[in-house]
Structure 1
Amino acid sequence: MACDSEQFVSVNSAPLRAHFRAERRSLSLAQQHESAQQLAAHFRRSAAFHHAESIAFYLAADGELSVEFLLEAALAAGKRCFLPVAKIDDCSMRFLRYEGDASSLTANPWGILEPDPSCDTIAATDLDLVLVPLVACDKHGNRLGRGKGFYDRAFEFMRASSAPANPPLLVGIAHECQICATPLPHGSWDVPLAAVATPTRMLVSSTESD
């Protein structure tokens, strides 16, 4: 279902966001740790990871599936790794180089660790692979995030007629409990995911409607 009204999408997303955030928060620390290890074990063998040279990661918060083990594998493989830095006043986002020094990270107003602003920046168009955190997703690549639109703004160029021939591959990272069985509400401004990776599988987004 494509929605043209931002207000309609926002109102209908609120209860879904609350439900799926509660679902992922219900997972124990042991479950979270095991899931993160399982994700890294299978995703690092994927073609998407193998071919990517510049990868955007994220540092998990609020029950998000952690990509820390995958980040370690990427650094060990010599890949160029980046972390998002959010700008609150205009909901924009940049991607800064991260080379493995956790002591260089500082917490933003939401308590999420970010690289020092002096670190090298990469344009979103130059990323090969982007691992995207989410609250919920569906099989069509629709993603429900925190509601601020950071990723949709950062990758809005992918919706343009002049989009690059080889755009970044956006892969959502989710626990199985975050996959919605029915299509999520979404708008024309949303940038869909190419695939979703869970601890045990990779789901390629379908363009077919129910």
Structure 2
Amino acid sequence: MCHFKKHLNKTRGFTVIEVATALVILAIIFTTVLTVFKDAMRAVSDDRINMQAFELARENMERILSQSSVSEQTEYGVSEINPQLVWELRTEPFSDPSGSGTWVKAISSATYLDANDQPKTLELTCWLTKVSKEVATQMMKDRELRDANEFGNSTLQDPLLEGYDGLNGDSYNLDGENMRTNNPAGQDAANRAKFDAIMEEYKNMTGGAK
């Protein structure tokens, strides 16, 4: 009599360690993909709002350049298209460090909170026109008067300012040939206290949300 032995192959199942290892690997892969995706979305969001900031600053600058004359001024506001954008537009005199004289420049900027809730500012500067020394002196006196009134020292008397009515209503003709779009070397940073206050108020209103 012949006896046949039948060998059966038994399928071995996964152990608990193998299953746990596979889950850990999948979790690492998922986390990596999710991080890359979030970074990509943040980059796209930052690029979009940065382009909006540039367009806003450019439009405000073009508004100044389209005028035949300008006066020293400062304007602030919030974009109607994107409330996350706070803009500033100002014209002011400054002395060119290279010695070419006193100029009036326009500065148009837009500030926003990036994906990390950090304020970012895009700024455009254009040298509008050159002014005489007399006009520059008057403009500086006018600024001193406004600063004195702003700090509550409206009764402050200065012999150099007596009889001076300021430059309210006065303007300066823009000479297209004299316009320059580069920044002077060594230009001092502008005082952004008011602008920073607007940004702080915006952050408080939105709770830092983007």
Q: Which has the higher contact order (CA 8 A, sep 6+)?
A: 1
Q: What TM-score, normalized by structure 1, do the two folds share?
A: 0.24
Larger radius of gyration: 2
Higher helix proportion = 2
Q: What TM-score, normalized by structure 2, do the two folds share?
A: 0.24
